[in-house]
Amino acid sequence: MDIHEYQAKEILRDFGVKVPNGGLAYSPEQAAYRAREMGGNKWIIKAQVHAGGRGKAGGVKVCSNDNEIIEAASSMLGRKLVTHQTGPEGKGIYRLYVEAGVPIDREIYLGFVLDRTTQRIMIVASSEGGMEIEEISANRPESIVRASIDPAVGLVEFQAREIAFQLGIEPSLTQQMVRTLMGCFNAFQDLDATMVEINPLVVTTDHQVIALDAKMTFDDNALFRHPKISELRDKSQEDPRESNAADRGLSYVGLDGNIGCIVNGAGLAMATMDTIKLSGGEPANFLDIGGGATPERVSKAFRLVRSDKKVEAILVNIFAGINRCDWVAEGVVQALKDDPINIPVIVRLSGTNVEEGQRILAKSGLPIIRAATLKEAADRAVSAWKADKPTITKLKAISVFLLMKKQKSLSKESLEGWQNFIPKKPA
């Protein structure tokens, strides 16, 4: 789970990291009031969105008086901010952070991430921070400082001092840098974060080390241990499909393809998406319904996938162990009967109670394409999608009907079900 900059700064401040004075605003007038409240002669107006690259996209503006603040806030609030991280759809700006300006002497990049290779927390830092950090990393990799933290002892002060020396921090500022590093590490570890990033971390002309920006990401699976962190979730910044899935206890990641996937188990979901790609299709989502999926849970997953307007075929791939194929079959049938659709549905069942599951599908009389293996299911999903794509509503059913007839995959019950989708000849 991601959080906003102002939320990350509040957290880091509690762990001893120094941050500038700032306040939240939901209107241009409130933004101006926040600036007057802080005092000074320069303020930064920042769009609060879950994305980097805000400065280049016009989401960060420096202001010197009330009129400039109101103008900047008015230009941001209510519009979509498009950056290289948001994609062309952008993210809505519904709140602003007004921050007091600080006299910057130099900028530093500082990040804490999980390194899966070493299975440790990794500190990544650069003496050249700021908006161009990606370019700096690519063009001048020697400027990047990396340090791995031993999980048995955590980050210790001598290691933090060593990082400060490598970054060229003045001896008089070393202790401030150590305090910043220790604070970030403690926040990362204590709150089950997966990333803490400060870019830039600045050294000011009056000799202070201050976090000018901050990003934090948390492990979704650990949020039950941190209810206060969980409350920081902002659904307006999330993919609505993923937000709806999370509210229903489903693991969902939206993609850009056309073939929706309903699968049990993360590994099988990945294999399913790979096989769809190998068969010439594009998956529309990653959806893991998990173990012990009831018919109601399967039906919810079905409705979720169908809510994506880009989905033009649905592939259900279940390898039942803890799950039961008959429960899954009942869920699919229930979903299709409650809300019939005119796109191909392909179901592959294997494992516990597979015979009963197949019987339920066949007996339903619904136009369901069945497959015995993952490869067969992916091939049929892609074939049905391609046959279905250029047609109109009634002709869609005919295309898939003919395909299934050719492949000899129609049961008597399914044949009867298809008749409801095929237009009758005029009398």
- Strand boundaries in 165-267, DSSP class E: 193-204, 209-211, 215-218, 251-254, 259-263
The Cα-based distances of 165 to 17, 106, 139, 174, 265 in angstroms read: 19, 15, 22, 8, 46
Largest CA distance in the chain: 94
Neighbours of 249 (CB within 10 A): 10
Question: What H or E segment, with its residue span, contains residue 96?
Answer: strand 96-100
92, 236 in Cβ contact below 8 A? yes
Least Cα distance to 276 among 336, 325, 357, 346 occurs for 346
68, 45 in Cβ contact below 8 A? no
Is 197 annotated as catalytic?
yes
Neighbours of 402 (CB within 10 A): 11
Distance CA 69, CA 30 (A): 10
Q: What number of helices (H) and strands (E) belong to the chain?
A: 15, 18
Distance CA 228, CA 222 (A): 12
Question: What DSSP character marks residue 87?
Answer: -
> In sequence order, what are the beta bridge partners of 112?
123, 196
User: What burial letters (b/e) apply to 179-197, b meaning 16+ CB within 10 Å?
Assistant: bbbbbbbbbbbebbbbebb
Distance CA 332, CA 180 (A): 53
Amino acid at 322: I
DSSP SS3 for 383: helix
Amino acid at 96: L
Phi, psi (deg, nearest 5) at residue 117: -70, -50
Active-site option among 5, 99, 197, 242? 197
Least Cα distance to 214 among 101, 124, 112 occurs for 112
Is 109 annotated as catalytic?
yes
Active-site option among 6, 97, 109, 252? 109
Least Cα distance to 185 among 128, 230, 122 occurs for 122
Using DSSP bridges, classify how beta strands 144-149 and 120-126 pair: parallel, antiparallel or unpaired: antiparallel
- Which residues carry out catalysis? 109, 197
